[in-house]
Amino acid sequence: MRFGCSTPFGDVTDLASFVPEFARAAEERGLDSIWLGEHTHLPVDSTHAYVEDGRVPDRYKSFPDPWTLLSAAAAVTSTLRLGTAVCLVAEHNPLILAKQIATVDQISGGRVEFGVGYGWNKLEMVNNGIDPARKRGTFREKMQAIIALWTQEEAEFKGEFVNFSRSWSLPAPVQKPRPPILIGGSPTPGTFTDIAELADGYIPVRATLGDELDDAIARLRSRMTDVGRDPDSLQLTLSHPETSFGRITMEKFAARLPDGRRLEHLAGLGFGRVTCSIPNRDRDLMYRTMDHYAELAEAHR
């Protein structure tokens, strides 16, 4: 089992010093990867379906650009995997996004993990020129276009949402045929079809699966078989972002980590990695929680 970590970067005001510090600390402790989320902006009138009062948490106001931060992390590390959980592909120009990711993969020596998702904030999509009712179709075309740009010497795309003429797009990613693609999202037939046809694996948030975990993975494996792919090739990562939410203490953080029994169960389902969110408002707490998390990782590798 590999162990990655994330942190709510929206809570960080001194990114220039914090990002290298956090990335180095993760690598020094033997953690596998860091993962950053993405939102281009937070519309004032946003509502959040997953919060009881409908209010979006303040951290969503200040998400920094993940590819810029991952570039900074790449510069001060040598083995740490650099991932997004998740990049909102539908809200991007695929020509620009493909170039950004390929460049980070180049400067990091091939360490990018491309975690992608569909998005939940309808106003954010509208402001980025996306019809929320067509977000999955938009996502699918843009993913196909990005893959073509990475894997074809001269790529072109003609679709409903994406159109570009035959083009070169260099530098190509270091990883061949491309960086790993992990799709996050609810365990729906549409999500599983996209994973089976476009991606290498699944990176769900624990809370979105709940008691469905075993059944969801069985259905995903079946879908892989349906399209002629080996279900054992699935790369499965489970995200635990709630480990740093709220008024966090060392005790709360430790209590929210998956225990040994849970990790064994995940491994039996085929999960090769878990990620947990590290609190960052207090540097001392950040280091103590990372140390504790690294001990968990060492015990279950």
Of 10-14, 149-153, 162-166, 261-265, which gets the smallest average pLDDT? 10-14
Q: How confident is the model at residue 58 (pLDDT cuts 50, 70, 90)?
A: confident
For residue 55, the enclosing domain spans 2-299
pLDDT of residue 246: 87
Q: pLDDT by residue (tens digit) across 190-228?
A: 999 999 999 999 999 998 888 899 999 999 999 999 999
Q: What's the average model confidence in pLDDT over 23-27?
A: 98
Map residue 59 onto helix, strand or coil: helix
Region 10-31 average pLDDT: 91
Q: What is the pLDDT of residue 238?
A: 98
> What values do phi and psi take at 93, rounded to 5?
-75, 120
Mean pLDDT value across residues 7-21: 86
- pLDDT at residue 116 in the model: 98
Three-state DSSP at 230 gives: coil
pTM attached to this predicted model:
0.96
**CB 103 within 8 Å of CB 131:** no
pLDDT above 70: percentage of residues in the chain: 98
Tokens of 232: 């054992």
- pLDDT tens digits, one per residue of 139-186: 999 999 999 999 999 999 999 999 999 999 999 999 999 999 999 999
Distances (CA, A) of 31 to 7, 8, 68, 82: 14, 17, 21, 11
| pLDDT at residue number 50 | 60
14-26 mean pLDDT: 93
> In the chain, how many domains are there?
1
Residue 265 pLDDT > 60: yes
Query: Does residue 10 have a pLDDT over 80?
Result: no
**Model confidence at 51: pLDDT above 70:** no
In the three-class reduction of DSSP (H, G, I as helix; E, B as strand; rest coil), residue 201 is classed as: strand
Sign of CA dihedral 63, 134, 211, 193: negative
CATH of the domain at 58: 3.20.20.30
User: Which of 68-72, 77-81, 278-282 is the least confident region?
Assistant: 278-282
Q: How many CB atoms lie within 10 A of CB 144?
A: 16
Helix (H, G, I), strand (E, B) or coil at 217: helix
Tokens 């408002």, located at residue: 281
User: What pLDDT was estimated at residue 49?
Assistant: 63
Which tokens belong to 279?
A: 């609190």
pLDDT value at 74 more than 80 = yes
Average pLDDT, the chain: 95
